[in-house]
Amino acid sequence: MWQARHVQSRLAGLYPRAEVTVLGVTTEGDRRLDVSLARIGGKGLFTKELEDALASGRADIAVHSMKDVPMELPAGFALAAVMERDDPRDAFISNRYPGLQALPSGARVGTSSLRRECQVRARHAQLEVHPLRGNVPTRLRRLDEGAFDAILLAAAGLRRLGLEERVTALLEPEESVPAPGQGALALECRAERSDLLELMKPLDHRDTRVCVTAERSLSRSLSGSCTVPLGAYAQLAGGALRLRAFVGLPDGSRLIAGERAGPAAEPEALGTALGEELRARGAGAILAEVEKQAAGESRSSDLP
């Protein structure tokens, strides 16, 4: 809701004669908090109901966290704008310890992300990683109640909610590669709405779109979803674009990382090239193993 109201405020500033209202929509990802995202279908869990509202005409624009938007949009929909990125980093939060390195063996770390879980397990095998769902206040409350020694959240979400003071440390991309699009907001509309596509142009941030395009291209080339521990983060420097990425198994036992640079004018090609490089180095086998594990969990969940 903060994100929707933020966009509402920006549009009101751009078009003071327009009436901009917020339509609250609860998605399946918001409702099903007792099961991990990987087991109930992945990224579309946070977008489908909003797209239904667009298709029916109840809403003109949908506001998404970019990292929750599937790599392929359904036919008939378009990204009208990718707004300027906020802090893309992951945040470490603890009431007792200053960072991941300071956690003792057996310490409990909570996260809802397979991407974060994989990287923690790969770099800190002595720690226990456990699932943590719910909105941000719920996750912080569980930490404060002692269920975890530390939790990991997106820094941008904490800042937007005015909870920056809860951040103990920020994890640099070298330690925790962000999710593709993390920290950016996406505005989606029906592809036929040329009027809206034009009106949203002032909210589109060119540098952010370039970086996010490279990240999503890599994820698309590796069939990235919530079932695959995958991170991708691009940075612009002049006319050059640098992309780093990884893919791994949830338990952190295998992780393949790489980085590549290319012209900023060709972000899609850069993402695809790095994705193909990771595949050549063994990412394909990892993806096959993750798919096999996910299929096994799905069959187990169908048992009486």
Domain with CATH 3.40.190.10 in the chain: 1-83+183-204, 90-171
The CATH class of the 205-304 domain is alpha beta
Superfamily of structural domain 90-171: Periplasmic binding protein-like II (3.40.190.10)
CB 147 within 8 A of CB 203: no
Please tell me the distance from the alpha carbon of residue 168 to that of residue 142, in angstroms, as a whole number: 16
Helices (H), the chain: 2-14, 28-31, 48-56, 114-123, 136-144, 155-160, 194-199, 206-221, 267-278, 284-301
CB 223 within 8 A of CB 278: no
Pick the catalytic residue from 52, 68, 87, 149.
Answer: 68
- In this prediction, residue 277 carries a pLDDT of 96
Residue 246: partners with Cβ closer than 8 Å, 6 or more residues away:
119, 177, 230, 231, 255, 256, 257, 258, 278
Return d(Cα 138, Cα 133) in angstroms, integer: 8
Rounded CA separation 109/94 (Å): 9
Angle between helices 267-278 and 206-221 (to 10 degrees): 30
Measured CA to CA, the distance from residue 304 to residue 302 in angstroms comes to 7
pLDDT at 291: 81
Give yes or no for a contact between 207 and 95, defined as CB atoms under 8 angstroms apart: no
Q: Edge-to-edge, what's the strand order for the sheet holding 185-190?
A: 62-65, 185-190, 77-82
CA distance 143 to 163: 14
Contact 183, 173 (CB under 8 A): no
- CA-based nearest residue to 176, from 147, 143, 152: 152
Torsion of CA 153, 158, 160, 161, to 10 degrees: 120
Q: What is the pLDDT of residue 92?
A: 98
What is the rounded CA–CA span in Å between residue 122 and residue 255? 7
Cα–Cα distance between 43 and 149 in angstroms, integer? Answer: 28
pLDDT at 292: 81
Structure tokens at 55: 């298709």
Ranges in the chain annotated CATH 3.30.160.40: 205-304
Give dist(CA 68, CA 119) in Å, integer: 19
Q: Is the pTM of this model over 0.85?
A: yes
Distance CA 174, CA 178 (A): 10
For the question of residue 34 being annotated catalytic, the response is no
Strand 108-111 relative to strand 150-154, pairing: parallel
The residue ranges of the chain whose pLDDT is under 50 are 31-37, 40, 299-304
**Closest-CA residue to 290 (of 229, 232, 245, 246):** 229
CA-to-CA distance for 205 and 200, rounded, in angstroms? 11
Which one of 3.40.50.2300, 1.10.260.40, 3.40.50.720, 3.40.190.10 gives the CATH number of domain 1-83+183-204?
3.40.190.10
How far are the Cα atoms of 67, 227, 230, 232, 283 from residue 247, in angstroms, in the given order? 16, 11, 4, 9, 7
Question: Reduced to 3 states, what is the DSSP secondary structure of residue 115?
Answer: helix
Q: Say how many Å lie between the first and final Cα of the chain, rounded.
A: 38
